[in-house]
Amino acid sequence: MATFKTSPTPYVCDLPGWGEDGSAAAATLAAEAAADGRTTDADALARAIAWGTSVRVAAPETPGRVRPDISFVRKVFANGRITMPDGRELRHWGFEDDADDDSGGETLPSPLIRVREGQVVHVTLETRVGPHTIHLHGIEPDDHNDGVGHTSFETEDRYTYQFKASQAGTYFYHCHVNTVLHFAMGLFGGLIVDPPEGPGRAWSGGPAYGHERFWVGHAIDPRFEELSHAAGLDGEDVGLNVFKPKYFLLNGIAGERARTDEKNAVQMRTGETLLARLLNANYHQHRWSFGGLDAEFIASDGRPFSHSYTDGEIWMSPAERYDALLKPTRPGVYTVRCETVHWITGKVLGAVETTVTVTGDPIEVEPPRDEPQPPATPEPVGGQTPPVQTPAPAPAPATTPRSSVAGKKVAAPRRKPVQKKAVKRKTTAKRKGPTRKPATKPKPKRKPSLFSRLRSKRAVKRS
């Protein structure tokens, strides 16, 4: 297995049957034999898997550790309680902050991490309830500080993740051990990187805002709370591939209370700007709509768009983030709705809503005008500014000119009109009216017979 130069221990895989020293060959062979039917010794296989999954390596020291500009502590809890609108109490997991202010506690989602671009950040994970990690989703640290157990290590005691915030935007963090289960149970929280000057602009030189909300859409499948933190790691099918949510939450709040809770609802005036940071913390699609308000989408997954675009709704995949600006020009109460849509059937499984209440006078917005752009100023080359070239006059229209000779006007020769040839059209229509019989050739006169000539002579004599 590969060994990182900066790591005091070898790369460790968490697949059953593997260990640090490579002595898990027997367990691997036993698993392969059971898979293709060459053995039915279930006890031997269970012992091999138990040994392989019991091997743990202590977390190393943070490589290249320096003094941080800001630091956070996140402790893991597994006995949080949340009450649903129907009165059912559910258990959830999460990270808590031991700070003295109101940012800590057993909340869902976990407490927000907020830093500024350019700061060196320390996030210390403390856990005593099983191996966990903190994956900084969207941040780009080295492997040791990325928090993915499959490519670094899992933590059973304490480890400090170190990174430098390099890009202002919207991110989040979550556990990356048995990820499907741990994420669904609540081991995640928001992460915001502000520009160096702090909140108030989406990024340095970017759009300004006066209000802000981090709206996290989440759903709960009650079946998952019955599972242990290691459910499914030994190869048993515990149903993690099927997600059937029954409760739908916005920032950990379900039902009618989500519409008015101060973590979700917004009160603002016309002419003010709200920056909405959206996160899909679900295993199905989300469809967000804004109750008739047009949202200007300016960034996605922590990266600004080169050109923003405006729409009344947006579809989001799991773990996606979008930054949107809402600029209401009319007073009223606008409903922001987050629908959970099934991946395959397209059916809306459930929804959660909140409100944006706008007061103040209506603002008339003039439609954009296409104003002519001034000519571009040439850039200096070699320290000198090139001369501005005057564009040549446009050529005169191509008409027949009238020339003059010795002061006399000479008429231009006239062109003969072009006569179009008549085109005989073929027609298939039948001519109406009586039809003429074709003319017959006259028959030649016969020579009179002898009897006729004699009778003619007698008639002449009598007369």
Last residue of a domain, one of 359, 389, 423: 359
Summarize the confidence of residues 280-292 as an average pLDDT.
97
User: Does residue 425 lie within any of the structural domains?
Assistant: no
pLDDT one-digit tens code per residue, 310-355: 999 999 999 999 999 999 999 999 999 999 999 999 999 999 999 9
Work out the mean pLDDT of the chain and round it to a whole number: 80
Last residue of a domain, one of 342, 359, 376: 359
pLDDT attached to residue 16? 41
User: Does residue 406 lie within any of the structural domains?
Assistant: no
CA–CA dist 27, 17 (Å, integer): 5
pLDDT attached to residue 414? 57
This prediction's pTM = 0.69
Q: What is the percent of the chain where pLDDT is above 70?
A: 66
Of 137-151, 263-277, 368-382, the one with minimum mean pLDDT is 368-382
Say if residue 155's pLDDT is above 60: yes
Summarize the confidence of residues 225-233 as an average pLDDT.
92
Domain that includes residue 111, residue range: 70-359
User: Which of 230-244, 309-323, 401-415 has the largest mean confidence?
Assistant: 309-323
pLDDT one-digit tens code per residue, 109-145: 999 999 999 999 999 999 988 899 999 999 999 988 9
The partner residues of 339 in beta bridges, in order of sequence, read: 287, 351
User: Does residue 450 lie within any of the structural domains?
Assistant: no
- Residue 298 shares a structural domain with residue 165: yes
- Residue 143 shares a structural domain with residue 8: no
- Residue 225 shares a structural domain with residue 327: yes
- What domain count does the chain have? 2
- Residue 111 shares a structural domain with residue 35: no
pLDDT band at 60 (very low <50, low <70, confident <90, very high): confident
- Residue 32 shares a structural domain with residue 157: no
Last residue of a domain, one of 306, 333, 359: 359
Say if residue 376's pLDDT is above 90: no
Cα torsion at 158, 163, 168, 174 (round to 10°)? Answer: -30
- Residue 3 shares a structural domain with residue 75: no
- Residue 9 shares a structural domain with residue 140: no
Summarize the confidence of residues 283-293 as an average pLDDT.
97
pLDDT attached to residue 366? 75
